Amino acid sequence: MQLAWTMEMTAGAAPDTDSGETRLIAASLGGDRDAFSELVRLHQSRVFRLAGRFFRGREDIEDAAQDTFLTAWRKLATYRAEAPFPHWLTRVCLNCCYAKLRKQKSGEQALEPLPEPAAPGHDPDAGLEIERLMRHVAPKDRFVLLLLDGEGWSIAEIAERVGWSQVNVKVRAHRARKKLRQLLEQGS
């Protein structure tokens, strides 16, 4: 199956969380590629936005989004409607982004969130320094920080959507922040 889409999002397209989406999922499970293309259209902005939190380059973002939708197509039968479809798709996207991060050899393409504008009186290069230091944090731990601090997700949301325990999420966030503090103290 070949999917084609661009990063230009359809204005005003909001995911349909009622029976329309259920109908599209059922049709997709029956092999209807047009129905699945409609699901892609409905959810592509969410997937591109999330992938954009992990990668900088447009090509990497597009690859992660394509991997997400191809995986979703192949594994759609595993969706059990216990949670809304967008939550399931978010988890697929997170897993694809994480897998892509693991495969990357060079740290220059991996994305940590773009630095926030510096507050008055702060060094404007501080955000760039944190970004550089994040490359030394283990991928799963960095992943948690990106979701907590970059996406603003709660610990409960991360645990639910990624399939980890809340304790695991807390431990990873603590470990990542501790590693960043150590790196800052060492001047790495």
Domain ranges across the chain: 1-111, 112-188
User: What tokens does 19 get?
Assistant: 């029976």
Question: Phi/psi at 55 (nearest 5 deg)?
Answer: -135, 150
Q: How far is CA 93 from CA 111, 115, 130, in A?
A: 15, 23, 25
- The answer to whether 77 and 31 are in contact (CB under 8 A) is no
Indicate whether this model's pTM tops 0.85.
Answer: no
Q: What is the pLDDT of residue 68?
A: 95
- The answer to whether 28 and 35 are in contact (CB under 8 A) is yes
- The CATH class that applies to domain 1-111 reads mainly alpha
CATH architecture for segment(s) 112-188: Orthogonal Bundle (1.10)
- Average of pLDDT values for 150-171? 86
pLDDT at 119 over 60: no
